[in-house]
Amino acid sequence: MEGRKQMSSNPRTIALWGYGRYGKRLLEMIRKNWSDYYVVTEVFDKQIDKDGDTVLEGGIPLLSSEKALSEYKAGRFEALLVSVADPSIYKQITREAESLGIPTTRLVSRNDFRTYEEFDGAIAHEYPYGYTIHEYSNLYGFYNPLCQRLTQPYLFDENGKGLRDIWYLEFTGAEPSVWNPARPFDLRGANVIPLEGEYFLGIGMYFRNLWHFTYQTLDKIAVMEKAGFKGRYLLARAGFTVPLLSLLGLDLERVVWLEDLNPDAIYQFEKVFAAELPDIYDSKPSIDALLALGRIISENVGDDGREYPSRLYVKRIGIRKLLGSDEVIEHYGFTTMIPEDYSFEEQIRFFKHADIVVSPHGAALTNTLYMKPGSVVIETFSNSWIVPVFVNVIHAKGIHYLPIVEKTDLAHAIVPENVSDYSVDNNILSNVIESAIKLVGQELLP
């Protein structure tokens, strides 16, 4: 697989495979910003009937993916760019193309990036709680509007080298090409907007998710504030960001929202501070900072005079739902709470007052930061998504942690692409709930 080539008078001809929401945006961005490097000659998609070809804007044919091999052999394009955002589907299409003998390409490759430490001019600073924050001067960056989950702006230097996080590359097993940038890392013909002063980069992959934001950014904001940082924070908007930042005591006037940046401009940052994330599922280095911010937020959220249940069942309505256990859980007197039905402050209060929480794995369990010592968390997993990301902080708070995994073939236990709903053995669930009730010293039945 090849990365981005140098600009030439003969841009490389490529075809896209995938014409969903992401593929449509990517095609638009390539035609708008990458025309010096690439010309898209065709687009393929599995959903297109092989006899129902259409023509897109600019005369680009939209074809069935079944025609990819014959079109490549006919010399219509030099390489294929997989234009889907989902890592597992990306891998499937890439393998299929390679099995057909069609070369694939990437808008960027690892050679276009440097780690935080390798980046020229990086200055490492030691911050409270053992954090290492890197400082950079005069970096350029742009907002990438291609994919909702991609909240990471691309930062690069005048030589076209980008700054990259490690964690999402290692976790997905993919190179940065899965998340194609909206434009090349160069300044030719760009609208460059200078941003004076100091900025902390608090955004990355999936950072509109409560857990990712709390464990990968909010802890660092707390560290920066403790160290006396007076600059501004570049963050992505989500329903919880403003409440969380307010509860932490941050002046929202110091926040620059990623979505407010002009996607057609390149920004020049006078100074940028950032912390590399080598392993998203190892929270041990940040336990003290997370516990500290948890105490601040828990105190500031206060009480609203309502009575909250001591036994709480947090029910998911999206992917990875726990199926077939509602009656068992209700039998033990648990109150069902769907997080989306409550304000962020109310969700925190539910967890603050709970003695026992039963929940499928999910971002709502980020609120275990606000539970009291001696309480119990029962977390359920499918056998294809076993990622106990909360366990270190839960144990550090003195909370009992009881995980339950779907009872199936554990020979295939870790398959990150599989995010399906699941069920657990209800006899095991009953035993674990009864153990939890004894741990908190309650009567077996409500």
- The pLDDT tens digits along the chain (446 residues) read 344 444 456 899 999 999 999 999 999 999 999 999 999 999 999 988 777 678 898 899 999 999 999 999 999 999 999 998 877 788 889 999 999 999 999 888 878 888 888 888 899 999 988 888 999 999 999 988 887 666 667 889 998 898 876 555 555 555 555 568 889 998 888 899 999 999 999 887 778 889 989 988 999 999 999 999 999 999 999 999 999 999 999 999 999 998 899 988 999 999 999 887 655 566 666 889 999 999 999 999 988 889 999 999 999 988 889 999 999 999 999 999 999 999 999 999 999 999 999 999 999 999 999 999 999 999 999 987 888 889 999 999 999 999 999 976 554 444 445 568 899 999 999 999 999 999 998 877 65
- The closest alpha carbon to 343, from 218, 207, 216, 246, belongs to 246
**What pTM does this model have?**
0.87
Per-residue tokens: 31: 């035609």
Collapse the DSSP code of 374 into the 3-class scheme (helix H, G, I; strand E, B; otherwise coil) and give the result.
coil
Per-residue tokens: 80: 């294929």
Angle at the Cα of 209 from the Cα atoms of 208 and 213, rounded to 5 degrees:
80
Using CB atoms within 10 A of its CB, is residue 16 exposed (0-12), middle (13-18) or buried (19+)? buried
Architecture of domain 302-439: 3-Layer(aba) Sandwich (3.40)
- Length reported for the chain: 446
**Rounded Cα distance, 23 and 39, in Å:** 15
What b/e sequence results for 424-438 when a residue is b if at least 16 CB atoms lie within 10 Å of its CB, and e otherwise?
Answer: beeeebeebbeebbe
Which single residue is written with the structure tokens 């035993």? Answer: 431
Architecture of domain 12-107: 3-Layer(aba) Sandwich (3.40)
Amino acid at residue number 443? E
Collapse the DSSP code of 47 into the 3-class scheme (helix H, G, I; strand E, B; otherwise coil) and give the result.
coil
pLDDT for the residue numbered 115: 82
Per-residue tokens: 111: 């050679």
3-state helix, strand, coil in the chain (%, to 5): 35, 25, 40
In angstroms, the Cα distances linking 381 to 75, 95, 169, 347, 394 are 48, 29, 24, 21, 17
First to last CA, the chain: 61
Tens-place pLDDT, residues 422-434: 999 999 999 999 9
Collapse the DSSP code of 42 into the 3-class scheme (helix H, G, I; strand E, B; otherwise coil) and give the result.
strand
Which single residue is written with the structure tokens 């291609």? Answer: 146
| Contacts (Cβ under 8 Å, ≥6 apart) of 429 | 325, 328, 329, 378, 380, 404
Do 143 and 161 form a contact (C-beta atoms < 8 A)? no
Domain 302-439 in the same topology as domain 12-107: yes
Q: Which helix (DSSP H) or strand (DSSP E) does residue 233 occupy?
A: strand 232-235
Backbone angles phi, psi at 248, to 5 degrees: -80, -15
Per-residue tokens: 123: 């200055």
Amino acid at residue number 422? Y
pLDDT for the residue numbered 413: 47
Backbone angles phi, psi at 18, to 5 degrees: 125, 120
Backbone angles phi, psi at 377, to 5 degrees: -115, 125
Per domain, the residue ranges of the chain are 12-107, 111-296, 302-439
Backbone angles phi, psi at 135, to 5 degrees: -110, 135
| Contacts (Cβ under 8 Å, ≥6 apart) of 350 | 308, 309, 312, 337, 342, 367
**Rounded Cα distance, 202 and 200, in Å:** 6
Helix pair 241-248, 219-226: axis angle to 10 deg: 30
Cα atoms in the 13 Å half-sphere on the side-chain side of 242? 8
**Rounded Cα distance, 444 and 442, in Å:** 6
Backbone angles phi, psi at 294, to 5 degrees: -60, -40
Tens-place pLDDT, residues 7-36: 456 899 999 999 999 999 999 999 999 999
Do 313 and 239 form a contact (C-beta atoms < 8 A)? no
**Rounded Cα distance, 364 and 348, in Å:** 10
Q: Which helix (DSSP H) or strand (DSSP E) does residue 90 occupy?
A: helix 87-99
